[in-house]
Amino acid sequence: MSNHLKNITLRIWRQAGPAAKGNFETHVVDEITDEASFLEMLDILNDKLVTEGKEAVVFDHDCREGICGTCSLMIDGQAHGPQRGTATCQLHMRQFKSNDTITIEPWRASAFPIIKDLMVDRSAFDRIIESGGYITADTGGAPDANLIPISKIVADAAMDSAACIGCGACVAACPNGAANLFTGAKIAHLSRLPQGQAERYSRVEAMVETMDERFGSCTNHGECEAACPKEISIDVIALMNKDFRKAKFSNRKDLARK
């Protein structure tokens, strides 16, 4: 059954543009049902702001089903808020109490510059994928799908890391702003599968290099795993590091043969 929360104070980061100076703005939500999602609360606030002639708070969101990875938000200093394994769009107000003060900020990472208010630019993630996060298989030449049996355990493990939604919580939560969990997840997905073997070592070299150009270094804090809405294990980073080290040998040998 639904209850109503009363008197919620929101401290929201407002910033007019990438170079502008930002500040916190305070708004009070008098009453809201606990069935509402966190983003619906922001919708209601925005509707009120627009009706009052004020500019709506800009924030990224889309599917509201926790799968597209568009939503972000640091809520009380936690990426995607207090509920474990949950993206902001799936967070509901029943996680909060009446009279709470909630601080809402954008992802804070130098690789994710702020566009406006709570919205950041995460294109650096796309650059990592473009550099090698794929299997080269042009359309048309694929063999029958059942030609290569893949053990269920392997397929399931690949799926676990392929579940990454690319939201950037791992980077936002990391004190160093590192993207190792994101990059490691894609590498683990592809390198676990037989189809991914041909490019296994060139892939990891290219992706890690692109990652290092844009993001901070991993020092094993583990904050990324705790913040990940898909609960991707930090093991993928170990797997990436192992493959990267191997790549430095095997790729060099392969290249020397040329």
Partner 1 sequence: MTLTDELFAKNTVKLDSKIPDGPVADKWDNYKENMKLVNPNNKRKFKVIVVGTGLAGASAAATLAELGYQVDAFTFHDSARRAHSIAAQGGINGAKNYKGDGDSVHRLFYDTVKGGDFRAREANVHRLAQVSVDIIDQMVAQGVPFAREYGGLLDNRSFGGAQVSRTFYARGQTGQQLLLGAYQQFSRQVGLGGISLYNRSELIDIVVIDGRASGIVVRDLVTGEITSHAAHAVVLATGGYGNAFFLSTNAMACNVTAAWRAHRKGALFANPCYTQIHPTCIPQSDDSQSKLTLMSESLRNDGRVWVPVNPNETRLARDIPEEERDYYLERLYPSFGNLAPRDISSRAAKRLVDKGQGVGPKKNGVYLDFSEAIERLGHDVVQERYGNLFEMYERIAGENPYETPMRIYPASHYTMGGLWVDYELQTNIPGLYAAGEANFSDHGANRLGASALMQGLSDGYFVLPYTIGNGLAPLLNKPMPGIDHPEFKAAEEAARERFNAYLAINGTKSPDYFHRELGKIIWDYCGMERTEEGLKKALELLPALYQEFKTDLRVTGEGDNMNQTLEKAGRVDDFFQLGMLMCRDALDRKESCGGHFRSEYQTDEGEALRDDENYCHVAAWQWGGDPMTPNLNVEPLEFEAVHLATRSYK
Among 22, 76, 108, 162, binds partner 1 (CB under 8 A): 162
Using the rule CB under 8 A, give the single segment among 97-105, 136-144, 175-183, 244-252 that binds partner 1: 136-144
Q: Does 200 bind partner 1 (CB under 8 A)?
A: no
226 binds partner 1 (CB under 8 A): no
User: Which three-class secondary structure state does DSSP give residue 162?
Assistant: helix
Stretch that binds partner 1, among 134-142, 172-180, 219-227, 245-253 (CB under 8 A): 134-142
Inter-residue contact 182 to 125 (CB < 8 Å): yes
Residue 209 is which amino acid?
E
- Are 41 and 5 spatial neighbours (Cβ–Cβ below 8 Å)? no
Tell me: does residue 247 bind partner 1 (CB under 8 A): no
Q: Is 186 exposed, middle or buried (0-12, 13-18, 19+ CB in 10 A)?
A: buried
27: contact with partner 1 by CB under 8 A: no
- Are 189 and 111 in contact by the 8 Å Cβ rule? The answer is no
The tokens describing 88, both together, are 């902001």
165 binds partner 1 per the rule CB under 8 A: yes
Number of H helices, E strands in the chain: 8, 7
Cβ distance to partner 1 smaller for residue 22 or 166: 166
> Binding string, 96-125, against partner 1, x = CB under 8 A?
-------------------xx--x-xxx-x
The answer for residues whose C-beta is within 8 angstroms of residue 8's C-beta and 6 or more apart is: 28, 29, 32, 41, 96, 98, 99, 100, 101, 102
Give least dist CB 241 to partner 1, A.
21
Q: Please identify, among the stretches 87-95, 175-183, 238-246, 248-256, the one whose residues bind partner 1 according to the rule CB under 8 A.
A: 87-95
| Contact yes or no for 112/158 (Cβ under 8 A) | no
| 81 touching partner 1, by CB under 8 A | no
The distance of closest approach from Cβ of residue 4 to partner 1 in the complex, given in angstroms and rounded to an integer, is 10
Rounded CA-CA distance 86/244 in Å is: 31
Considering only the stretches 74-82, 172-180, 191-199, 218-226, report the one whose residues sit in contact with partner 1 under the rule CB under 8 A.
191-199
Is 236 among the residues that bind partner 1 (CB under 8 A)?
no
Among 68, 102, 226, 238, binds partner 1 (CB under 8 A): 68
Region of 129-137, 171-179, 219-227, 244-252 interacting with partner 1 (CB under 8 A)? 129-137
Which of 21, 23, 136, 258 is in the footprint of partner 1 by CB under 8 A? 136
What letter represents residue 89's amino acid? C
* Helix, strand, coil shares, percent, the chain, to 5: 40, 15, 45
Residue 49 contacts partner 1 per CB under 8 A: yes
Closest CA relative to residue 223, chosen from 154, 183, 173, 182 = 173
